[in-house]
Amino acid sequence: MVYTATFEVFIYQDEEDNLFYAECPSLDLVDFGDTKEQAKSNFEVLLDMFFEDIIERGTFREVMTDLGWKFSDTLAAPRNRRPSPKLVSKSERLTEARQLAVAY
C-alpha cells in the first residue's frame, strides 16, 4: 500500500538559546540547528529515519495511529496536534508531503 502523508513543519528561533528548531506536531518530531537551513536539513534526515524505521519494523500503522493519524483511502493528520499560537506567529510554516510504501 502507498500512503501520502502531508504535514506541517514549523521553523522558529528560540530566543533563549538562539538555535533554530524545526517542529512537526502531528509526528511529534523536532530537530534543531545553528541556522534555519541547518534545522531544516537536520529535520529532513530525522524524518527519513523516522519513516524508514517504523516501516522496516512493521509498526507504521501502530505508530501513526498512536500519533492520532486516521487510515482510510488516504492518511489523515491528527487535528488535535497543533503548535501554540505563540509559536505559529513567530515561525515559518512549511507543508511537507511524503509518499510512503508500506507492505501489509
Residue 64 near residue 75 (C-beta atoms within 8 A): yes
CA distance 33 to 83: 19
| Each residue's pLDDT tens digit, 16-68 | 888 999 999 999 999 999 999 999 999 999 999 999 999 999 999 999 999 99
Confidence check: pLDDT of 79 > 60:
yes
Q: What DSSP string runs through 31-76?
A: EEESSHHHHHHHHHHHHHHHHHHHHHTT-HHHHHHHTT-EESSSEE
Confidence check: pLDDT of 88 > 90:
no
Among the CATH numbers 3.40.140, 3.30.160, 2.60.40, 3.30.70, which is that of 2-101?
A: 3.30.160
Give this prediction's pTM: 0.81
Residue 35 is predicted with a pLDDT of: 95
CA distance 66 to 12: 26
